């Protein structure tokens, strides 16, 4: 608690004394925490190669299964053709990195009413996770093959008007694109911005209300509902990139299978050191990771317009 002199608020406890007018000032020990976006990258990626990296620059070589040619056979055939096995590889390289650094003054540590180092560290951890999430989702969108529905020049007009496509039908088309590529139905997911789920909720009053977030209304790493819709686990994220060269109200809906994208991350360094030029501690951390689209055919993208 502090006191401010020179006000008109009379304090009878100090009547007759010098500086008898004070304004009590209370400092809360609770810090207003900034809102955080949900992160979904870890939920939609596989981490099969997480244990094979240790530091920035590491490379993991992943051998692809060979495709064997099946040939017609006739009786008495004497010359059979063979498929040549090749060691085709996919390379997952740990080539992404982000860091944070801040300083904590000795006076703040000693006299502050809050633990600034802890508060700042919590925010730094969130900022790193959000940067990782943006990077992985953007890489997934960039790695999609031909499984697309709509284009930037001609997005699918989504809504509930006469000439508009129902958002539920958009999910159905994405599911069919994955079906055409023989992608397993189990472990499919879809990621979209809040605007799409707003339109989707208008399709049916009960569509997303049944067991919506298990009744607590909160986002569990962006998971919209505990059930599946058109075979997809539904995730909500503001980190889905806006189509390049377009403006609002164009959006991208990303769908895929758990095997499509692989991530490998390692928080390689977190340390606290003494600053040589001041009475402060330096706290810093480094996050390194790699991401790779292993199966472009297991991803699908819808480019839509919501107006």
Q: Where are the domains of the chain?
A: 1-30, 37-71+84-307
Write the pLDDT tens digit of every residue in 271-291.
899 999 999 999 998 888 889
For residues 269, 271, 275, 276, the Cα torsion angle rounded to the nearest 10 degrees is -70
Residue 20 pLDDT greater than 70, yes or no: no
Pairing, β 280-293 against β 96-105: antiparallel
Query: If residue 305 lies in a helix (H) or strand (E), which one and from where to where?
Result: strand 299-306
Write the pLDDT tens digit of every residue in 221-280.
678 876 788 999 999 999 999 987 766 679 999 999 999 999 888 766 788 999 999 999
Distance (Å, rounded) from C-alpha 8 to C-alpha 20?
A: 10
Average pLDDT for 202-221: 53
pLDDT-derived band at 145 (thresholds 50, 70, 90) equals: confident
Residue 215's pLDDT is: 45
Q: How far is CA 260 from CA 114, 127, 137, in A?
A: 44, 25, 12
Domain 37-71+84-307 has CATH 3.10.150: no
Residue 240 is encoded by which pair of tokens?
């889905």
Distance (Å, rounded) from C-alpha 201 to C-alpha 204?
A: 6
pTM: 0.77
């Amino acid at each position: 608690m502090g006191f401010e002199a020179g006000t008109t608020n009379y304090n009878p406890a100090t009547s007759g004394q010098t500086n008898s007018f004070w304004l009590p000032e209370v400092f809360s020990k609770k810090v207003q925490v900034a809102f955080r976006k949900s992160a979904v990258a870890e939920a939609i990626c596989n981490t099969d190669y997480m244990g094979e990296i240790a530091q920035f620059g590491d490379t993991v070589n992943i051998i692809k299964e060979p495709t064997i040619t099946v040939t017609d056979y006739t009786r008495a055939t004497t010359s059979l053709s063979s498929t040549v096995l090749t060691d085709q590889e996919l390379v997952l390289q740990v080539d992404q990195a982000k860091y944070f650094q801040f300083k904590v003054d000795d006076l703040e540590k000693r006299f502050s009413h809050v633990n600034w180092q802890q508060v700042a560290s919590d925010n730094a951890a969130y900022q790193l996770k959000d940067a990782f999430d943006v990077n992985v989702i953007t890489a997934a969108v960039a790695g999609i093959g031909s499984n697309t529905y709509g284009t930037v020049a001609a997005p699918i007009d989504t809504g509930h008007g006469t000439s508009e496509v129902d958002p539920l039908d958009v999910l159905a088309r994405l599911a069919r694109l994955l079906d055409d590529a023989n992608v397993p139905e189990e472990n499919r997911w879809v990621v979209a911005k809040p605007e799409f789920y707003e339109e989707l909720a208008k399709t049916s009053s009960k569509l997303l209300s049944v067991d919506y977030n298990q009744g607590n209304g909160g986002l569990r790493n962006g998971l919209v509902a505990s059930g599946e819709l058109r075979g997809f686990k539904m995730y909500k994220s503001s980190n889905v990139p806006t189509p390049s060269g377009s403006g609002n109200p164009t959006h991208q809906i990303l769908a895929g299978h758990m095997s499509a994208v692989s991530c490998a991350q390692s928080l390689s360094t977190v340390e606290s050191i003494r600053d040589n030029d001041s009475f402060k501690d330096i706290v810093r951390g480094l996050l390194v990771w790699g991401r790779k689209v292993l199966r472009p055919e297991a991803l699908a993208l819808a480019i839509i317009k919501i107006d």
